[in-house]
Amino acid sequence: MRIGELSQRTGTPRRLLRYYEEQGLIVSDRCANGYRAYDEPTVDRVLQIRGLLDAGLPTRIIRQILPCLNGPRAIHFPDATPEMLATLEHERDRMTERIETLCRNRDAIGAYLAVVRGGVRA
């Protein structure tokens, strides 16, 4: 698929897709006319990258851990430094806090909707 279709399917601007490629996060083949061509798994890869970026991970860390996310049972990470492991632990803990906050907010909205839709007074 070309960059326009990848952009449309992932909701990611073309400029960001080119940046991801520059950073080594995704790869493309080049057609004879010079256009970029992406394979189907790139859609999931871009969505995964977007999720990691939304979680606050920088691209330098994402680039290092992406290979590990393809096959979690076959992780081989020979260049993991103590600093990088500490960074990943911090990011994991931060994500957990965000998830807990989102769950509380979801539950509060659900309770509000139940009251409003049911005509029940709190």
Residue ranges covered by each domain of the chain: 1-75, 80-122
Question: What's the CA angle centered on 17, arms 97 and 98, to 5 degrees?
Answer: 5
Alpha carbons 111 and 120: distance in angstroms, whole number: 11
pLDDT number for residue 90:
86
Res. 76 pLDDT band, cuts 50 70 90: low
Count of H helices and E strands in the chain? Answer: 5, 2
How many of the other CB atoms lie within 10 Å of CB of 8?
11
Q: What is the fold, at CATH topology level, of the domain defined by 1-75?
A: Multidrug-efflux Transporter Regulator; Chain: A; Domain 2 (1.10.1660)
The pTM assigned to this predicted structure is 0.68
Segment 82-113, tens digit of pLDDT: 887 888 888 889 889 989 999 999 999 999 99
pLDDT number for residue 56:
80
pLDDT number for residue 71:
56
Contact in structure between 19 and 26 (CB atoms under 8 Å): no
Residue 62, phi-psi category: left (phi > 0), alpha (psi -120 to 50), beta (remainder): alpha
